[in-house]
């Protein structure tokens, strides 16, 4: 066989996050996990990103319990998660002691590959998480958030990768969350990275703009070591390109993926049934399955598109979707060209929607955008225009060093705040990451535990369990 290309499967996390706002319950994956474990994947991405939030906010599941259940079924394949550096899985920076505890518990419960990124590619925001992962002995993968601007050149990314390798990264991922890495640039970028660093290079893209297969072909030819795909029923559109199709094509081209096509077909059949159910329930909007080359212009990632559309749907303003799309690059320019990845994709998307719906740009500005302009998220790729900054935050102080250096240790304080509702450190972290939603989730579980066995049956039927 030819060169080995490792493949990671995203259906348990990014595929459903990007297509249907992370609404897949554990029940829909439970019966197929053993088959997935035998299919020959390098890893199964199954945790992190928005899964933690969705579990407690919409699915009434304990995210830690979900991870343990997956681990109990998956014995041979690595489990992978997406971690937002100092943000963990929440929407603010956490003190170092919280970051360290979260990573230790994630590793203990089954995570083998930690993909750590910072929305601004500010490596200062990766240090604590990287150090904590290295301490567990698991794979510490640092991710470059790929975006396009005058600053974001191939050389810029090569320098970034070099810094990441020097920091101790075990592998480096080119994270193309908007599906805007074109084949030509992908080839140049991966070739340059392979010359610059010696750790494995992973390429992650989305099918949003319709070019993902060409991009994968180009980066594999340039020497990429690993790619990420989604099983066919939940592939394409704002998700990843299709696992089975790439397995067949790469096999034919003489590459060794290690994937078992018979088992992939079985996995596809399982999720095909789930998909019909999601469409019938209105969870999966077919609009998300169509490629949109406008992504190459607006650089809007899949998860952001589906979330933005669902926000506008709630506001009864889906007719203004195109207007909001056009406002996104304008807001991004105002904010110093941040890569559109969580939490910045949500922040930019929300600001763009507010600008369009209110009729006056920046009439309403969320606190997160104000904090961003105060430097609380890190260094912007391009300096923000000072007049614009002051028009939003006035004379407030702007942080120029690592934002987490301004945070006092907070673990004991959080533990005291949530009190008896938390039964263990995992519960404290649920509260730490999502204070209001987490408290509601823990309080609901607490009241369920106090009901009689008969009442528990009623609760189970009503969907709490």
Render pLDDT for 115-168 as a digit per residue (tens, 0 to 9).
999 999 999 999 999 999 999 999 999 999 999 988 899 999 999 999 999 999
Query: What are the tens digits of pLDDT across the range 166-181?
Result: 999 999 999 999 899 9
What pLDDT is recorded for position 449? 76
pLDDT average, residue stretch 311-329: 92
CA distance 110 to 127: 22
Q: Any idea what DSSP says for residue 13?
A: T
State whether the Cα torsion 259-237-297-174 is positive or negative. Answer: negative
**Among 128, 133, 101, CA closest to 115:** 133
The CATH fold assigned to 289-405 is Cyclin A; domain 1 (1.10.472)
What pLDDT is recorded for position 69? 98
What pLDDT is recorded for position 465? 24
In whole angstroms, how far apart are CA 75 and each of 29, 40, 68, 69, 228?
15, 12, 12, 11, 20
What pLDDT is recorded for position 294? 80
Instruction: Tell me the CATH number for domain 6-281.
Output: 3.20.20.70
Contact at 8 Å (CB) between 193 and 157?
A: yes
Token pair belonging to 74: 């998956």
Angle between helices 435-450 and 425-433 (to 10 degrees): 140
Domains 6-281 and 289-405 agree in fold:
no
What pLDDT is recorded for position 346? 86
What pLDDT is recorded for position 136? 98
Q: CA 440, 418, 68 angle in degrees (round to 5)?
A: 70
CA distance 78 to 362: 45
State whether the Cα torsion 182-240-292-366 is positive or negative. Answer: negative
Categorize the per-residue pLDDT at 302 as very low, low, confident or very high, splitting at 50, 70 and 90: low
User: To the nearest whole percent, how much of the chain has pLDDT over 90?
Assistant: 86
What pLDDT is recorded for position 49? 94
Domain boundaries, the chain: 6-281, 289-405, 409-461
Query: What are the tens digits of pLDDT across the range 71-93?
Result: 999 999 999 999 999 999 997 89
What pLDDT is recorded for position 150? 85
Residue 100 CB contacts under 8 Å (≥ 6 apart), including other chains: 128, 132
Contact at 8 Å (CB) between 82 and 51?
A: no
Q: Between 313 and 449, name the one with better pLDDT.
A: 313
pLDDT average, residue stretch 92-99: 96
CA distance 87 to 109: 20
pLDDT average, residue stretch 4-31: 97
pLDDT average, residue stretch 377-396: 96
β-bridge mates for residue 171, sequence order? 141
β-bridge mates for residue 79, sequence order? 44
Residue 461 in this model has a pLDDT that exceeds 60? no
Categorize the per-residue pLDDT at 292 as very low, low, confident or very high, splitting at 50, 70 and 90: confident
Region of residue 40 (phi > 0: left; psi between -120 and 50: alpha; otherwise: beta): left
């Amino acid at each position: 066989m030819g060169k080995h290309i490792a493949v990671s499967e995203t259906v348990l996390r990014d595929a459903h996050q990007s297509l249907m706002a992370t609404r897949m319950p554990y029940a829909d994956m439970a019966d197929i996990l053993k088959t997935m474990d035998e299919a020959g994947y390098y890893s199964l991405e199954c945790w992190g990103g928005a899964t933690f939030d969705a579990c407690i906010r919409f699915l009434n599941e304990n995210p830690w319990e979900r991870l343990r259940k997956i681990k109990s079924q998956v014995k041979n394949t690595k489990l992978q998660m997406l971690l937002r550096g100092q943000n963990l899985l929440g929407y603010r920076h956490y003190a170092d002691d919280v970051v360290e505890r979260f990573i230790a518990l994630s590793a203990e419960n089954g995570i083998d590959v930690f993909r750590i990124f910072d929305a601004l590619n500010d490596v200062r925001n990766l240090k604590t998480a990287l150090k904590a992962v290295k301490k567990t002995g698991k794979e510490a993968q640092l991710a470059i958030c790929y975006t396009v601007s005058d600053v974001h050149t191939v050389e810029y990314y090569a320098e970034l990768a070099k810094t990441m390798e020097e920091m101790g990264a075990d592998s480096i991922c080119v994270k193309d969350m908007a599906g805007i890495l074109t084949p030509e640039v992908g080839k140049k970028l991966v070739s340059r990275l392979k010359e610059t660093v010696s750790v494995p290079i992973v390429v992650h893209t989305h099918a949003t703009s319709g070019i993902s297969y060409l991009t994968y072909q180009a980066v594999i030819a340039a020497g990429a070591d690993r790619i990420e795909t989604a099983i066919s029923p939940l592939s394409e559109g704002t998700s990843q390109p299709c696992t089975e199709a790439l397995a067949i094509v790469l096999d034919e081209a003489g590459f060794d993926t290690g994937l078992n096509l018979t088992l992939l077909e079985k996995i596809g059949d399982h999720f095909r049934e789930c998909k019909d159910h999601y469409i019938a329930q209105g969870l999966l909007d077919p609009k998300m399955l169509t490629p949109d080359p406008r992504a190459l212009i607006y650089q809007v990632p899949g998860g952001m598109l589906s979330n933005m559309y669902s926000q506008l749907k709630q506001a009864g303003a889906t007719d203004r979707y195109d207007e909001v799309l056009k406002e996104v690059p304008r807001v991004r320019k105002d904010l110093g060209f941040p890569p559109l990845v969580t939490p910045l994709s949500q922040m930019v998307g929300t600001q763009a929607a507010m600008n369009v719906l209110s009729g006056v740009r920046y009439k309403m500005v969320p606190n997160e955008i104000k904090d961003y302009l105060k430097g609380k998220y890190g260094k912007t790729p391009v300096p923000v225009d000072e007049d614009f900054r002051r028009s939003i935050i006035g004379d407030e102080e702007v942080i120029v060093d690592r934002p987490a250096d301004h945070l006092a240790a907070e673990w004991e304080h959080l533990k005291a705040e949530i009190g008896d509702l938390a039964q263990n450190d995992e519960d404290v972290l649920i509260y730490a990451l999502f204070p209001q939603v987490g408290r509601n989730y823990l309080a609901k579980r607490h009241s369920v535990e106090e009901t009689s066995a008969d009442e528990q049956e009623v609760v189970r039927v009503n969907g709490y369990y």
